């Protein structure tokens, strides 16, 4: 992303937004960082930010599966 926009080669601006999420009665806000092209307006999400956003909802499902449960 440091080499410019993959689409048009324009300058990318780092932007920060706060995304709202709600899963299973729980809700909150997560900071999301993304890149926006100055020329064409194309938006690219930070891989780390996406992981955090997806993890916030997926990790709750995984907690149901307890690997140490034997019965
Ligand atoms: Zn562009």
**Gap between the Cα atoms of 22 and 2, Å rounded:** 33
Model pTM? Answer: 0.55
Distance, CA 31 to ligand 1 centroid (Å)?
A: 23
Distance 51 CA to ligand 1 centre (A): 23
Nearest to 4 by CA among 55, 39, 49, 48: 39
Residue 54 Cα to ligand 1 midpoint, Å, equals 26
Q: What is the pLDDT of residues 9-59, one digit of tens each?
A: 999 999 988 888 888 888 988 888 889 999 999 998 877 766 776 776 554
Q: Which residue has the tokens 């601006």?
A: 13
DSSP element (H, E) containing 8:
none
Measured in Å, residue 37 CA sits from the centre of ligand 1 at: 5
Q: Where are the domains of the chain?
A: 12-61
């Amino acid at each position: 992303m440091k080499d410019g926009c993959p689409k048009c080669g324009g300058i990318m601006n780092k932007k920060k937004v706060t995304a709202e999420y709600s899963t299973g009665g729980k809700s909150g806000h997560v900071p999301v960082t993304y890149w926006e092209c100055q020329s064409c307006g194309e938006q690219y999400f930070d891989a780390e930010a996406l992981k955090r956003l997806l993890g916030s909802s997926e990790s709750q499902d995984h907690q149901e599966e307890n690997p140490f449960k034997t019965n």
